[in-house]
Amino acid sequence: MAQWAYKVVYIDYRGRISSEGLETLITNERRSTFARRYMNTLGRDGWELVGIQPLTSNSAYYTFKRPAQEGDYADEAPAAASSSESAPSGGPTVETA
């Protein structure tokens, strides 16, 4: 079965893109050109747009996926010291801050 990696990007058409803690601000260009240029960069890296979740008339979350590559997954979070409940094998894990 194929393994997928996902990337969620927040685009605020008033001038900001945020993904994985990195902020990109609009320079001296049209807002649509700015977003298209950013998404073209993701496309060149193999990311495919699979969903859009509008938030306001000026912002949305864009979800991208690509076949998983080495380094796409974060290291697993350490187990909680007093955790008596655990996810079943193969089940989702919950990370806490």
Please check whether residue 15 lies inside any domain of the structure.
Answer: yes
Please check whether residue 36 lies inside any domain of the structure.
Answer: yes
**What mean pLDDT, rounded, does the chain reach?**
80
Tally of structural domains, the chain: 1
**pTM score, two decimals?**
0.69
Please check whether residue 39 lies inside any domain of the structure.
Answer: yes
| Per-residue model confidence (pLDDT) at position 79 | 53
For residue 13, what are the CA distances in angstroms to 7, 61, 65? 19, 11, 22
Q: How many CB atoms lie within 10 A of CB 74?
A: 8
Reply yes or no on whether the pLDDT at 6 is more than 90.
yes
Please check whether residue 90 lies inside any domain of the structure.
Answer: no
Please check whether residue 76 lies inside any domain of the structure.
Answer: no
Task: Report residue 33: phi and psi, to 5°.
Answer: -65, -40
pLDDT digits (tens, 9 = 90+) for 25-47: 887 888 888 889 899 999 999 99
Looking at this protein, which amino acid is placed at residue 39? M
What range does the domain containing 14 cover?
A: 4-67
